[in-house]
Amino acid sequence: MALPSFNRTARPSQPPAARRAWRLAPAMLAAALAATLPATSPARPPQVQAVQGERGPLRMVTLTAGLEFPWSLAFLPDGRMLVTERPGRLRVVGRDGVVDPRRVEGLPRVAVVGQGGLLDVALHPQFAANRWIYLSLASGDADGVGTEVVRGRLVEQAGRLMLEDVGSVFRMAPRSTRGQHFGSRLVFDAKGFLYITLGDRGEMQRAQRMDDHAGSVVRLHDDGRVPADNPFVKVAGARPEKFTVGNRNMQGAAIHPVTGELWTHEHGPQGGDELNVMRAGRNYGWPIITYGANYGIGTRIGEGTARAGMEQPLMHWTPSIAPSGMAFYSGSAFPAWKGHLLVGALRGQALHRLELDGEKVVHEERLLQGVARIRDVRVGPDGLVYLLTDERAGRLLRLEPGPR
């Protein structure tokens, strides 16, 4: 099966094999492209904007701009940040916002198709000792495109960062010719298990299939082995990696700081974006139940909003905010936010602060409305909040307490 022609730069006159190689540009091609881009280091001090929040004044600091559709970030022990760019580059950003013009070397091939590309990045819980980092990406072959997770050791030589011992930890199956709903958040829990969120790849019925990874959370050991206590290990015909069933497209995931459980949010269709707690073996309903509706025509999908044996969301957003990126706040810079959940919004172009009472959302504040499409949300080791904007010249923003 030929790969879909999502990459508009492929030349029609090329034979299919050549076009496929172009779409699956290896890291060396990404490096060549990166060399033609201007350096993204800020030419002047960071821009600062005052923001008034319900719990007090804030400052929004633009640390840097010019990142090409940044998708995720992770903090290194020395305070530098790793930032993924969807077209296939892994960048290093200093604590001052200065971007190293040299990308991290040694990445595997990335399929830049539709919503796919280089997506999430996460550090191993024992990164300081083993140097493992994990990347989720779209990869492709003759059968199509799918989400893949790789890991490699991050090493530094002569001031340059590169990946060594790169290998695949997980490869989604079956593949697809579609270019949407890759999911792709990576989260480690306190026991060291790796959770991978996966979308339905735009083929909704796949989310209810037990022999299909699509539309589920996958749970693995850090090296890709399947835990013996995964809920479907002994279910005939089921993929043993699966932890949940019936999810649409989860682009936000975080471990609750008290319960240790995985919380996610997912995109709904024309409404019905959901916030959920992921529990072993549970069915979250898509596409049998949903609070969303068919695009354009607004007709009902499936059976309605409820069915016995299927989970109800903790909350849903209708109309859709298109959530992406999520973090529980547990720092000290914003004591009034302790335990709150921060959710980025693409369509909604805002940062949502959710106050919780257990698993109930009791209040919602929408901050930074209209600033940009928020792709990722992270709490830094300094207790400040870091955001990535989904733009061709994407920004790295930092939220700080404002003067009182």
Write out the catalytic residue numbers. 181
Residues 6+ apart with CB under 8 A from 158: none
C-alpha closest to that of 123 among 134, 136, 114, 110: 134
Q: Which amino acid is at 61?
A: V
Q: Which amino acid is at 213?
A: H
Peptide bond into 77 cis (omega under 30): no
Q: What does the block give as tokens for 63? A: 């640390």
C-alpha closest to that of 168 among 201, 135, 129, 121: 135
What pairing do the DSSP bridges indicate for beta strands 144-157 and 132-141? antiparallel
The CA-atom distances, in angstroms, between 362 and each of 257, 283, 353, 354, 355 are 18, 25, 11, 7, 6
Q: Three-class SS of residue 28? A: helix
- Give bridge partners of residue 220 from the DSSP assignment: 194
What pairing do the DSSP bridges indicate for beta strands 350-357 and 341-345? antiparallel
Per-residue burial over 36-63, b = 16 or more CB atoms within 10 Å of its CB, e = otherwise: eeeebebeeeeeeeebebeeeebebbbb
Question: Nearest 5°: phi and psi at 71?
Answer: -120, -35
Question: Which residue bears the tokens 């893949």?
Answer: 148
User: Alpha helix locations (H) across 191-304?
Assistant: none
